[in-house]
Structure 1
């Protein structure tokens, strides 16, 4: 048979990334972006949907009787009603480990920025050049700390968490992992309470689930050292944003780097923008995953999943290790 493949949001992949050729009989339709109200119309007659970030919910899927497969060009599966797909026999696949290195490198970059402050001092030099601030022989405007010797606490133990731990160890950091309420044991695993209390950097690397929703709130942030920083490259909602805003504004923690938020894309009036001028806060638009290398791996893996499905392999989305 000939499959009809619809790529719902090719704008989620950089122009430099090449979509591999499809080797079986098919028709192909690609859209830059698909709004929720456009999903059903655009997927009418489609047997395979490819999506980077467009959600596919039960109320939409019920109206798509021809759909056989959803190939997710991302790590998670939370944008699809997988329970309904399982009941209906719709195959759902993802590419779980494509960004393990690039997200880990992003975390490392933000650690260095929060501790070493090169961008802050670059902006200071711009102000000196514009004569907005006086030139001095030595500047102590921003605190500078070494990264080597600090403790990194990683909440998570999947591919990204493991790669992050590997890189951090090579930088001279002590690395500890959350023991998942005692489910993980052995050297390097500590209770979440101990992790929060002992870490100079806390990195969140778990999927968003009912168990991890608002996992880091006011009480957890209060357990951190006053000069410790927290980094979230996982999913918005794992850190309670109101609690984080309060902690930073009141100086209860040393800093934060946030790449994921509850409401994406971030609106101009989002409360998090109250922090955007703080030198110890980094806000990026969910781009930790988006190196060209990772995106090529992602789209190649997504198309490979489609080929494997058409060839008759029994596939399912890979669960995210946490």
Structure 2
């Protein structure tokens, strides 16, 4: 059987990433990006859809009788209506854990930036060079703190959380976990209140679900140390952004670094930009996952899922229907 494969948004992978050739009879069409209005027309004859971020909802899928497989070039599955796919025999695959090291390293980088402040002092030297600030013998403009000996609290226990813990322990940090699902317990797993009150650095590493939405709000942030920093590389919405803005403006926590927001792409009028010029705040545009190494592994595995499907196999990373 010949397949027609449509890549809906190749802009989702970097220009250095090489897309492997599929080793079976097929036709291939690739688009830089596909809007919701484009989907039905572009997938009308497709048997396989490959997407990095373009959602496929029931209203689209109902109009695509030839579609047999959706390969998600990402870990999350919330951009596809899985119930419809399971009911109509459409195989859906994802790529779990491809950015475990990448995201964990990004957390560490953000942590170092907020504790050690190298970029803050670099910007100070730029001001000195421009004559905006007079040179001095000693500089204490920004507080510098050691990483070793600090406590890292991790909300989550997936592959990213575990890799982050490994890196943090290598730096001499103590690690505490809060596992909301309650599946894991024992040494290092503590109640949320203890993670909040004991952590010098708090990292969010759980998926966005109905249970985790606004998991960290005003009450939880108020329990953190006044000099603790919060890092979210998971999903926007787990941290209540209004509460975080308030906590930083009122200096009830020491700093925050966000790679994710509720509204992405961010609007220039988003309230989060109230914090953008603060030296204890970092905002990134959802890039923690996107190292060249991780993206290459991502597309390789997403395409391998398609190869397995075309060979009549059940793909290794097929999303199974959840039964009660």
Please report how far the alpha carbon of residue 94 of structure 1 lies from its aligned counterpart in structure 2 after TM superposition: 0.5
The answer for the alignment partner of 2:313 in structure 1 is 313
Q: What are structure 2's unaligned runs of at least 5 residues?
A: none
Deviations 1:213-252 (A, max 9, x none): 1111111111110100111111111111111111111101
The answer for the alignment partner of 1:156 in structure 2 is 156
Distance 2:94 2:117 in 1: 36
Change beyond 3 A, Cα 1:58–1:16: same
SS at match of 1:190: coil
Deviations 1:244-285 (A, max 9, x none): 111111101101110011111111111111111000000000
Please report how far the alpha carbon of residue 310 of structure 1 lies from its aligned counterpart in structure 2 after TM superposition: 1.0
Change beyond 3 A, Cα 1:181–1:90: closer
The answer for the alignment partner of 1:259 in structure 2 is 259
Matches within 5 A, 1:171-210: 171-180=171-180, 182-210=182-210
Please report how far the alpha carbon of residue 183 of structure 1 lies from its aligned counterpart in structure 2 after TM superposition: 3.4
Distance 1:181 1:191 in 2: 11
Q: Is the 8 A contact 2:70 2:92 kept in 1?
A: yes
SS at match of 2:231: strand
Equivalenced residue count is: 319
Please report how far the alpha carbon of residue 314 of structure 1 lies from its aligned counterpart in structure 2 after TM superposition: 2.0
The answer for the alignment partner of 1:34 in structure 2 is 34
Change beyond 3 A, Cα 1:309–1:181: closer
Please report how far the alpha carbon of residue 317 of structure 1 lies from its aligned counterpart in structure 2 after TM superposition: 2.6
Please report how far the alpha carbon of residue 152 of structure 1 lies from its aligned counterpart in structure 2 after TM superposition: 0.3
Please report how far the alpha carbon of residue 134 of structure 1 lies from its aligned counterpart in structure 2 after TM superposition: 1.4
The answer for the alignment partner of 1:298 in structure 2 is 298
The answer for the alignment partner of 1:220 in structure 2 is 220
The answer for the alignment partner of 2:283 in structure 1 is 283
Please report how far the alpha carbon of residue 182 of structure 1 lies from its aligned counterpart in structure 2 after TM superposition: 4.1
Q: Aligned-residue CA RMSD in angstroms?
A: 1.1
The answer for the alignment partner of 1:237 in structure 2 is 237
